[in-house]
Structure 1
């Protein structure tokens, strides 16, 4: 027996996030056979405060609102039910201008409304679920990171792919452009990888458009550009120490 007939997740970015980045959405989740049916209505907010040129200058268009209805892989049905099993809704709703806003309408035999007590778990789950919808609908591609280490002894390349659609990640390792091996990457380690990867500053102005051949450590995060470690991937400010953590993590991915 399913733990829910329907869940409606209401989300809104914090008041600290300005337009054109601020948005809100309602996400309806329903069990269908073994799958999870979703109905997403996402709307960008407060854009009437900006001119069209200001919106486009930030990489957006005059209408980025998004609606999609479809079914997600059964892995998401399972993940949702695991989260629901440890969720209780609080009686009141906390409002905080510095926090993203999230509430649930949980329909079983009766309807419950409120904020989940395990709010941080739901915030992260909602982010992953939204990414799974974007991939399943074709709006975005799966995450892909190419790492290239060129030395006098040869080249080692690692291609990390992570599909939120299937909640699966793997690493392909290629030595000297020939011999390759494939291994799974633990999904629960992906948030740490993302955090370490994007802690430095990425400078696209001088990034290479062609795959490098001279000695160095390079990254291609899926934007068709190659960034060199400590040249286009740099510390975000004086006293920061993000690069050593990145190099340590990359060493494990290349091994």
Structure 2
């Protein structure tokens, strides 16, 4: 049973990482209720199967001894439409249970009290949406700051351009300034472009802490280090030129 998008009052999104080994294995549950002026939100993240690991093994993988997280509160109303739209466009599998590969299952309730449960066939879309939603919760709860990138171009063709870009998942907005001037940018399109930013390999031995002044293309991933294209940024897959995608993506941000 597929409920009408406009009638949905509540969604529950449950995720299990499946056979992923600890300390990475985890589950999360997102519960949202669509209120008049906000999205009522509960989030629980639980890391699993760590009993057989030593503290050193957990810390060596970049985790802490208490990575579980809970949140109850409100997210902006702007999150309602994307969640409902994903539900409306979802194809549902015939599976009753998540297998060893894990994934997401969804429960929806409408204003008539009807409940529908299912495992999305487009599970990856739901996982991406859930990760964006969790990032929004992290921002609202001050667990993490919005993603902030800087990009600097100094070439004969493009001139000198300094991009300061901040992705605000909580409000689904992009704060973008180019040479100090505010610029409009679409959230989804910018998020798609930024997906290419994390595909290459960045050589931190060649990175600089000082803002560059010489000709070239440079990027700061928010950690204070400037990486130069052509010298410290390398495609990991020869069949896909992520480096060029990054350059063209920022160039599009500067178009009228």
The 1:206–1:14 alpha-carbon spacing in structure 2 relative to 1, beyond 3 Å, is farther
CA distance in 2, matches of 1:236, 1:80: 33
| Higher alpha-carbon deviation: 164-173 or 49-58 | 49-58
- Note the C-alpha offset of 1:8: 1.8
CA distance in 1, matches of 2:120, 2:238: 39
1:133 paired residue among 128, 131, 137: 137
Q: Which residue of 2 aligns with 1:185?
A: 185
Give the conservation status (yes or no) of the 8 Å contact 1:24–1:45: yes
Give the conservation status (yes or no) of the 8 Å contact 1:158–1:253: no
Q: Which residue of 2 aligns with 1:124?
A: 128
CA distance in 1, matches of 2:90, 2:251: 38
Name the SS of the counterpart of 1:196 in structure 2. Answer: coil
Q: Which residue of 1 aligns with 2:72?
A: 69
Q: Which residue of 2 aligns with 1:107?
A: 109
Task: Kindly provide the CA deviation profile for residues 132-154 of structure 1, in whole angstroms up to 9, marking residues without a partner as x.
Answer: 11111111111211001235896
Does residue 171 of structure 1 match 2:173?
Answer: no
Name the SS of the counterpart of 1:62 in structure 2. Answer: coil
Give the conservation status (yes or no) of the 8 Å contact 1:173–1:182: yes
- Note the C-alpha offset of 1:94: 5.3
Q: Give the gaps of 5 or more residues in structure 2.
A: none
The 1:209–1:165 alpha-carbon spacing in structure 2 relative to 1, beyond 3 Å, is same
| Higher alpha-carbon deviation: 198-207 or 138-147 | 198-207
CA distance in 2, matches of 1:238, 1:118: 28
CA distance in 2, matches of 1:69, 1:2: 24
Return the TM-score normalized by structure 2: 0.85
Name the SS of the counterpart of 1:124 in structure 2. Answer: helix
Q: Which residue of 2 aligns with 1:217?
A: 217
Q: Which residue of 1 aligns with 2:164?
A: 159
Name the SS of the counterpart of 2:249 in structure 1. Answer: helix
Task: Kindly provide the CA deviation profile for residues 59-94 of structure 1, in whole angstroms up to 9, marking residues without a partner as x.
Answer: 211111100110000101232233333447555325
Q: Give the gaps of 5 or more residues in structure 1.
A: 175-179
Give the conservation status (yes or no) of the 8 Å contact 2:103–2:123: no
Count of residues paired in the alignment: 248
Cα root mean square deviation, aligned? 2.6
Does residue 146 of structure 1 match 2:150?
Answer: yes
Q: Which residue of 2 aligns with 1:177?
A: none
Return the TM-score normalized by structure 1: 0.85
Task: Kindly provide the CA deviation profile for residues 96-155 of structure 1, in whole angstroms up to 9, marking residues without a partner as x.
Answer: 434x41112222313322213443432222121111111111111112110012358963
Name the SS of the counterpart of 1:209 in structure 2. Answer: coil
Name the SS of the counterpart of 1:49 in structure 2. Answer: coil
CA distance in 2, matches of 1:88, 1:41: 26
